[in-house]
Amino acid sequence: MISEHASPLATIGGVDAGGQNIYVAHTARHLASLGYAVDIFTRRDSPDLPDIVDWMPGIRVINVHAGPPSFVRKESLLPYMAQFARAVVDHAREQRDAGTPYAVCHAHFFMSGLVARRLKQALGVPYVVTFHALGRVRLMHQPHDEFPPQRCILEQMVIDTADAVVAECPQDELDLARHYATPVSRVRMIPCGFDPEELQPVTRSEARRHLGLPAERPIVLQLGRMVPRKGVDTVIRALGILERRYKLSPLLLIVGGESAEPDPRRTPEIGRLQSVADEEGVRADVQFVGQRPRSALRYFYSAADVFVTMPWYEPFGITPVEAMACGVPVIGARVGGVQYSVEDGRTGFLVEARNADALARRLAHVFSDPSIPRLLGKRARRRAFERFTWQRVARSLADLYAEVATAAALTRPAVAQGN
């Protein structure tokens, strides 16, 4: 696997550490338990990192020297990718010469896709790519982003030479076809997931006691990376509407950020959101929690009556699935993967992105009768288990790798033994 900016060993919740890191970590773990030996190449972003970490049986994390050994925003990483690719190709050549060649490469994000493309050209290793976000989709929503202008052209090159492209949800599949003319035959829809051991629900009362939260007050949870496109401001505005129009005042918990303390200097987005809460007159009802480790998440999800996610766009969105796994209904924006994971009216509700009025209306509906979130939550949990475990995801990936590796072997020219 190649995941240039997202190491499976990073602390999750900051600007550039979220779903992709989780995806790589969990799929690697399950692939290893299916018998795969997995090497994960990621950029060395701290001088303290060893070159190779034996992470767990069957999985190594290879910290590639490319650019400074410090954090570099993903928007600024492209210039280092040629160096990254050279290191990966050298390593892969050593693997081959030692008699353990890579059978298949799975690239994550477009820059890793470029490395995989280079590896295929150099050594014939077939590759699968998951983009996690597509430049053309992002530009529709964030026209002034700071990625290099050639991003979309590079994505197209990566798609054109890929053996398979993973779409994370039906919308992603459509975007790949519509914006990149990706042939349907090379796209495989495989969603993201959750880990049932990590996200076992606890009772609401126990979760609240554990976190020191009020036992009876309605609680709305927002959890994820703190970046404007996640639309957390819409959630805060909905809280204002809920109080003024519906005379309801739930507690809004906001988990995520660069540090465990919700510090606006470390996480400027928190500062911006605090001003929105001031404007709405709900500052006292919004609790910024800060970043939380994986082991704490089940308490936050289980303490909530409803989970809310209002991104402008969302390639998949793991957090709604995690909430569902804990038996919590989701009200989400009708975009990307959210409209796939959430079944409108059955496991939660979908509302228009950026529409605080619509969100407030749905929240009022959910809080109007305690049996509503209970019923939705029960169905949500069932749906999460039926479709979205990492184990299932890894099995689908393993099937795809096997197909890709076999097809590549069939087209590879025979090499005479002993040469």
The DSSP 8-state label assigned to residue 230 in this structure reads G
Min. distance of Cβ 257 from ligand UDP in angstroms? 7
Min. distance of Cβ 26 from ligand UDP in angstroms? 9
Min. distance of Cβ 92 from ligand UDP in angstroms? 27
- Sign, CA dihedral 316-319-322-326, equals negative
Min. distance of Cβ 67 from ligand UDP in angstroms? 22
Distance between CA atoms of residues 404 and 113, nearest Å: 16
Strand 59-64, strand 52-56: pairing: antiparallel
Closer residue to ligand UDP, CB minimum distance, 291 or 355: 291
Closer residue to ligand UDP, CB minimum distance, 285 or 322: 322
Closer residue to ligand UDP, CB minimum distance, 13 or 240: 13
Closer residue to ligand UDP, CB minimum distance, 16 or 155: 16
Min. distance of Cβ 256 from ligand UDP in angstroms? 4
Closer residue to ligand UDP, CB minimum distance, 108 or 237: 108
Closer residue to ligand UDP, CB minimum distance, 222 or 355: 222
According to DSSP, the residues that pair with 252 across neighbouring strands are 220, 286
Closer residue to ligand UDP, CB minimum distance, 7 or 20: 20
**φ/ψ (deg, to 5) at 254:** -120, 110
Which residues contribute to the site for ligand UDP (CB under 6 A)?
12-13, 18-20, 22, 223-225, 255-256, 291-292, 294, 297, 316-319, 322
Tokens read off for 306: 């409803």
Closer residue to ligand UDP, CB minimum distance, 87 or 353: 353
Min. distance of Cβ 161 from ligand UDP in angstroms? 25
According to DSSP, the residues that pair with 63 across neighbouring strands are 42
Torsion of CA 287, 292, 296, 299, to 10 degrees: 20
| DSSP class per residue in 16-82 | T-SHHHHHHHHHHHHHHHTT--EEEEEE--STT--SEEEEETTEEEEEE--S-SS---GGG-GGGHH
Assess contact for 53 and 42: CB atoms under 8 A. no
Min. distance of Cβ 294 from ligand UDP in angstroms? 5
Closer residue to ligand UDP, CB minimum distance, 3 or 319: 319
Displacement of CA 271 from its chain's centroid (Å):
24
- Sign, CA dihedral 233-306-318-314, equals negative
Min. distance of Cβ 357 from ligand UDP in angstroms? 24
- Could you tell me the end-to-end alpha-carbon distance of the chain, in angstroms, rounded to an integer? 29
Closer residue to ligand UDP, CB minimum distance, 119 or 207: 207
Min. distance of Cβ 272 from ligand UDP in angstroms? 17
Displacement of CA 344 from its chain's centroid (Å):
21
Q: 286: exposed, middle or buried (C-beta count within 10 Å: 0-12, 13-18, 19+)?
A: buried
Min. distance of Cβ 176 from ligand UDP in angstroms? 17
Distance between CA atoms of residues 233 and 339, nearest Å: 20
Assess contact for 369 and 96: CB atoms under 8 A. no
Min. distance of Cβ 14 from ligand UDP in angstroms? 8
Distance between CA atoms of residues 121 and 116, nearest Å: 9
The DSSP 8-state label assigned to residue 413 in this structure reads P
Closer residue to ligand UDP, CB minimum distance, 4 or 280: 4
Tokens read off for 75: 């928007």
Q: 412: exposed, middle or buried (C-beta count within 10 Å: 0-12, 13-18, 19+)?
A: exposed
